[in-house]
Structure formats: structure tokens, C-alpha cells
Amino acid sequence: MKFRSSWLTAFLVGACLAGAVGLIPAQSAVAQEKLTPSREAAKQLKAAQEAYKAHKYQDALAKLKEADAVKKTPIDQHLINELSAAVYVALKDYNQAVKYFEAQLNEGSVKESDQQQLVKYIAKLSYQTQNYDKALEFGNRAIKGGFADAAIRTIVAQSYYQKGDWKGTKRFMDEEIAAQVKKGETPKAESLQMLQSACEKLEDSDCQTRAIEAMVQFYPKPEYWENLLYGLTKSSQVNDQTQLQLYRLMLEVNVLKRPQEYTEMAQLALEQGSPGEAQHIIEKGFENKIFADQRQQDKNHRLLEAAKKAVATDLPSLPKREQAAEAAATGEEAVSVGNAYLGYQQYDKAIAFLSKGIAKGGLKDPHAAQMLLGVAYLRGGHRDEAIKAFRQVKGDPMVVRIANLWALHAKQPDAVAHR
């Protein structure tokens, strides 16, 4: 008798693999050709085949054991390996199934395209049985060979993660995300979350922040912004000036929610020459019912009155300060005037004086001025100019990071929705 190699494929895929693991493609693992078993093994193989078709899997295994005991040809061994794999898959004994898939792979007579399928089968079944080392071995073999599909890449990533290999997870996800971005694809949210988790397990704060930044870039949800920006506020690199910039961004992306943050932001704005901004933020806090208890309300009413008093003095003084800025040898006064106008939400004037100050030079902190200019452009509705201004911020790494986050936000559709 002659057996058609892969005569069991329909059973393997339809009855077993598709239902059991769902990841294995409905393709033959071996060449479609007629194979003739030896006279010694033919009877047992035929009986095993019939038992398999009748779902009598233990009978099939008994007959395969008999076939394995005779003097076998390579074809006999191939048929034993193939049918044994199918039987064990049907029994959901995937560890044994993998052994016979590996045996087929090691026969040396399976053509290359079918070897690739076997490699993927082994990776998928090994993952199913939580044999993560073997899943990684064969999954990475498929990746290195250039025939891994999305399911295999997911298995490799999950295997690193499930076995607690955080460094391996981080390395693999970094490579995967970089490759996706290079191809112009949006990295999967699950990939970014897995990278973030691995970085957290490694206690690598820089890596964790970069992962969250990527989440914000590709999936700008408020909760991702919140995780990112609250993480940055805890950094030892944040001084009062950068803290105010962070608060501005938190307000912009609608994640400034705690009463003490509204209060501190207003106090910092007052100290840094922006009483209009201080008044605006406290009024917004009351409007949004941020200050829940009476003590908070009383404190912020006093702060609001202080801000209004400062505005009453500051706002009328701006024309004279404009003249002084024009005559000044450096751009410091022009930047100060621009900062004040930014707080009063007069964005055109803010842009004009911040630009003059930066151009004139002699600034103590030119990159802080550049950041303010970007904010003024964005709030004034000039998205492209804002991005350009933010990209020109250099110097302190924390300031640059905040500027890059502003630029990232500026690219998003609702970039001026929360002022």
C-alpha cells in the first residue's frame, strides 16, 4: 500500500490544531507525495491510520508502537513521526506532539518550506505547554530565518516575558518597536505596554519613561499622559521653572487634577512674572470644582485675590515695559513682557515679544524663552511654528524632554483643546 504524505493534514488541522491552539496555519508540514512503507511496517501503519480516523487514539498509539518495533525504512519512520504527532495533538498532549514534530524536522528529507512550517508548529505548541525556552529557541529560529509571522513574534515576546527574562523582553521589544516604526507602522499598544512593564521590572526609570513617551506618541490617551507627567514631576532634576512648565503641559493635556497642583502652579506663575496665568489657573480650579473642602477653598480664594491684585498692577504697566524692552541691551525684558502676555492669553503679543527677546539675545536662560515661545505659538493656533520652536530647545536634559513632549502634543489633533 501507499500512503500520501500529509494524508493526516485535514485531521491535524481541522480536528486538532485549529481547535486546540488556533495559531497553527492550515498548511501541510510535509511534501504532498505518495510514500510506500516497508512490508514489515505497512500493516501496523494502516491499522494506526484507521484507528486515528475513528478517534481511537490509544489504539493508534499501540499500533504505532508496534510499527516502531520492526526494522524500519526512513519512509516508515517518517510516517510514524507524522501520525504520532497528529495523535498526540488530538490527545492534547502537546509535549509529546512536539517531540514527533522535531523528529520530522530532524529527518533531513523534509523540504525547506515544510521545515519552516514545522519550526513554527514547534514554537506555537511549546508556548501552549509553557515550555518557553523551546518556544524561544524555535521562535527565534523562525525570526532569524526570515519566515516568522506576527503570531510567532508575539510568542517570542510573550515567552521572554512569561519566563521572567526582563532583559530579553526589553531587548526584543525595543527591536520590534524600532522595526515597526522604521516601516512606517504604528507599534502595537500591547508591545509598548510589555516594554514598559519589563522596564519597570528592571527598575530602569529612563527606559520606563521612554516607553510611556512612546505610548503617548502613538496612543495619546489621558491616562498615558498622566502616568508620564506625574512620573516626571517626581524627578530630582525638576526645579521651580521646569515644574511650572510641567504643570502647563499637564493642564494642556487635561491631567492636572489635584488641588495642591493648581495652588502650586498659581504660586509659581506669580513668582515667575505671570500673574495673569496665576489668576486663570485658580479660576479654572474653582470652575472645575477642584478645591473640595473649605480649607482648600479659603486658601485659594486668598491666592486668587493676591493674583488679581498683582494683575491690577502688572497689566497697566505693560506698555511702559514694552518701551523699556525695545530700548534694553538684552532680550530679558522682552521675554518677561512676552511671558506676561502669555499669561493674559494675548498670544500674538506674547509671540512678538518672546521672538524679539530671543533674537536680541543676552538671555540668562534662552531655552526657557524658546519653550515659552513654543507654548505661545501653539495656544495661538500656529502648530507648525510651535513644533519648530519646541525642537530648538536645547541644554538641560529635563527641559529638552519637556519641550519634546510639547512638540509631541502639538502634533496631535486636539493640541489646543485644553487651555
Which pLDDT belongs to residue 269? 96
Burial degree of 61 (CB within 10 A; 0-12, 13-18, 19+):
buried
**Number of C-beta neighbours around residue 82 at 10 A:** 26
Note the pLDDT of residue 230: 83
CATH topology of domain 3-161: 1.25.40
> 92: which 3 cell numbers?
492534547
Residue 8 contacts residue 55 (beta carbons within 8 Å): no
Which pLDDT score is estimated for 260? Answer: 95
pLDDT at 159 over 50: yes
For 302-336, the pLDDT digits (tens) are 999 999 999 999 999 999 999 999 999 999 999 99
Return the minimum-mean-pLDDT range out of 209-213, 246-250, 285-289, 335-339. 209-213
Residue 41 has pLDDT above 80, yes or no: yes
- Segment 185-198 shows an average pLDDT of 91
Average pLDDT score over residue span 46-61: 94
Which pLDDT does position 222 carry in this prediction?
84
Q: What is the pLDDT confidence band of residue 27, given thresholds at 50, 70 and 90?
A: very low
pLDDT digits (tens, 9 = 90+) for 68-99: 999 989 899 989 999 999 999 999 999 999 99
Which pLDDT value is given to residue 19? 34
What value does the mean pLDDT take over residues 158-168? 96
Q: pLDDT per residue over 168-188, tens digit each?
A: 999 999 999 999 889 999 998
> What pLDDT sits at residue 418?
46
**What is the average pLDDT across 330-346?**
97
Q: Summarize the confidence of residues 6-34 as an average pLDDT.
A: 37
Asked whether the predicted pLDDT for residue 131 surpasses 70, the reply is yes
Q: Is 220-410 in CATH node 1.25.40?
A: yes
- What is the spatial distance between Cα 352 and Cα 377, in angstroms, rounded to a whole number? 10
Query: Is residue 4 scored above 70 in pLDDT?
Result: no
Q: How far apart are CA 350 and CA 70, in angstroms?
A: 91
Mean predicted confidence (pLDDT) in 30-58: 84
- DSSP per-residue letters across 302-361: HHHHHHHHHHHHHHHHHHHHHHHHHH-SSSHHHHHHHHHHHHTT-HHHHHHHHHHHHHH-
Per the CB < 8 A criterion, the answer to whether 75 and 33 are in contact is no
The segment(s) of the chain belonging to CATH 1.25.40.10 are 3-161
Dihedral sign (CA 181, 187, 192, 194): negative
Average pLDDT, the chain: 87
Q: Cell numbers for 265, please give them.
A: 502652579
Q: What is the pLDDT of residue 415?
A: 66
Q: What is the DSSP letter of 3?
A: E
H/E segment holding residue 116: helix 112-128
Cβ-Cβ contacts under 8 Å for 101 (sequence gap 6 or more):
29, 85, 118, 121, 122, 125
Which pLDDT tens digit goes with each residue over 94-114? 999 999 999 988 887 778 888
pLDDT-derived band at 224, boundaries 50, 70, 90: confident
Q: In whole angstroms, what is the distance from residue 264 CA to residue 365 CA?
A: 22
End-to-end Cα separation, the chain, in angstroms: 81
d(CA 101, CA 99): 6
What percentage of the chain reaches a pLDDT higher than 90? Answer: 67
